[in-house]
């Protein structure tokens, strides 16, 4: 299991990743994955991935293996093994050939009280297991309206950046303004670019400017091209639209 291309110098290859959240069933997943597999060759030079709920990882692996689509999970434990009922380790994800794992999605932070330090610890656990963590950051509506976006992002990233350049160079970041997730509201391309540029400056200061930074928050085929036109937006972490094969593939092709 290799690391991401994040830290590689030169052009950053676009990555479009679907986050199914707590959606799916065996029959519906089979149809969705078959549609993705059938159409992925039409999206051009874009890396495509899906992150499914834990119970469906075996199904995802079975249907997507040998295709151009990679897959991953939505969370992992900081622990490698032990008496942690209900937790799933990085090594377990590796058994299903996962490449990716989300860490610190805003729903985990809000609903499960995940702290910035815990998210960094999960990223470190993912790297130790040979997985690529996709670390999510983003501000709430109150924080955005108070002009605190840069402050909040810097705070969330601080313990991740403290892992050091070698580790961070293997990570993917995802900026997801909480106020735009599942609300139909989307940051304008210029708003998103401004935040991505700030993240890029933090990465450059650490010596890893090539880390990929995705945008998430009500991404659709209709707005994907304008977002991807921004110089520091390297792709998308897609929620609801990733549950419709045609829409998700149109985003990847944008």
- The whole-angstrom separation of Cα 141 and Cα 123 is 26
Please provide residue 82's backbone torsions phi and psi, each rounded to the nearest 5 degrees: 130, -165
Q: How far is CA 112 from CA 56, 107, 186, 205, in A?
A: 22, 8, 24, 31
Please give the pLDDT value at position 8.
Answer: 38
The CB-side HSE value for 41 (13 A sphere, CA atoms) comes to 4
* 130-158 residue pLDDT tens: 999 999 999 999 999 999 999 999 999 99
- pLDDT on residue 131: 98
Query: How far, CA to CA in Å, does 198 sit from each of 11, 66, 175, 186, 203?
Result: 19, 37, 11, 18, 9
Q: What is the pLDDT of residue 10?
A: 52
105 catalytic? Reply is yes
Question: What φ, ψ does residue 141 adopt, rounded to 5°?
Answer: -65, -45
From the candidates 105, 114, 139, 196, give the one annotated as an active-site residue.
105
Calpha distance 74→131 (Å, rounded): 12
pLDDT of residue 87: 98
The answer to whether 184 and 223 have CB atoms below 8 angstroms apart is no
pLDDT at residue 7, as a whole number: 38
CA gyration radius, the chain: 17
Nearest by Cα to 92 from 61, 68, 69, 116? 61
The answer to whether 79 is a known catalytic residue is: no
Please tell me the predicted confidence (pLDDT) of residue 6.
Answer: 41
Question: What does the pLDDT read at residue 124?
Answer: 98
Per-residue pLDDT of the chain (254 residues), as tens digits, is 333 344 334 579 999 999 999 999 999 999 999 999 999 999 988 999 999 999 999 999 999 999 999 999 999 999 999 999 999 999 999 999 999 999 999 999 999 999 999 999 999 999 999 999 999 999 999 999 999 999 999 999 999 999 999 999 999 999 999 988 777 777 899 999 999 999 999 999 999 999 999 999 889 999 999 999 999 999 999 999 999 999 999 999 99
- Sequence-distant (≥ 6) Cβ neighbours of residue 25 within 8 angstroms: none
What is the CB neighbour count within 10 angstroms for residue 222? 13
Secondary structure (3-state) at 135 = strand
> CATH for 14-253?
3.20.20.70
The one catalytic residue in 139, 176, 196, 247 is 176
Reduce the DSSP state of residue 157 to 3 states and report it.
helix
In the chain, where the domains are located: 14-253
Nearest-5° Cα angle at 147, 141 to 151: 95
How high is the pLDDT of residue 116? 98
Return the structure tokens found at 7.
């830290």
The total number of residues written for the chain in this structure? 254
In Å, what is the CA distance from 252 to each residue of 104, 141, 182? 23, 28, 19
Residue whose C-alpha is closest to residue 59's, from 90, 87, 98, 22: 98
């Amino acid at each position: 299991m290799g690391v991401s291309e994040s830290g590689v110098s030169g052009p950053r290859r676009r990555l479009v990743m679907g986050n199914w959240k707590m959606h799916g069933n065996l029959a519906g997943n089979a149809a969705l994955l078959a549609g993705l597999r059938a159409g992925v060759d039409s999206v051009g030079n874009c890396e495509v991935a899906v992150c499914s709920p834990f119970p469906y990882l075996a199904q995802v692996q079975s249907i997507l293996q040998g295709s151009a689509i990679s897959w991953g999970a939505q969370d992992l434990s900081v622990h490698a093994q032990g008496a942690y009922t209900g937790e799933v380790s990085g090594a377990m994800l590796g058994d299903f050939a996962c490449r990716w794992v989300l860490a610190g999605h805003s729903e985990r932070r809000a609903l499960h009280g995940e702290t910035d330090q815990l998210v960094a610890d999960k990223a470190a656990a993912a790297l130790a297991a040979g997985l690529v963590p996709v670390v999510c950051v983003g501000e709430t509506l109150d924080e955005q309206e108070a002009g605190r976006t840069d402050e909040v992002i810097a705070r969330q990233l601080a313990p991740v950046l403290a892992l050091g350049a070698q580790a961070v160079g293997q990570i993917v970041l995802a900026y997801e303004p909480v106020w735009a997730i599942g609300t139909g509201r989307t940051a304008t391309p210029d708003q998103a670019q401004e935040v991505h540029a700030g993240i890029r400056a933090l990465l450059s200061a650490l010596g890893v400017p090539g880390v990929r930074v995705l945008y998430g928050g009500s991404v659709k085929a209709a707005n994907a091209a304008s977002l991807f036109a921004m110089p520091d937006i390297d792709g998308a972490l897609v929620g609801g639209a990733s549950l419709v094969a045609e829409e998700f593939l149109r985003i990847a092709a944008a």
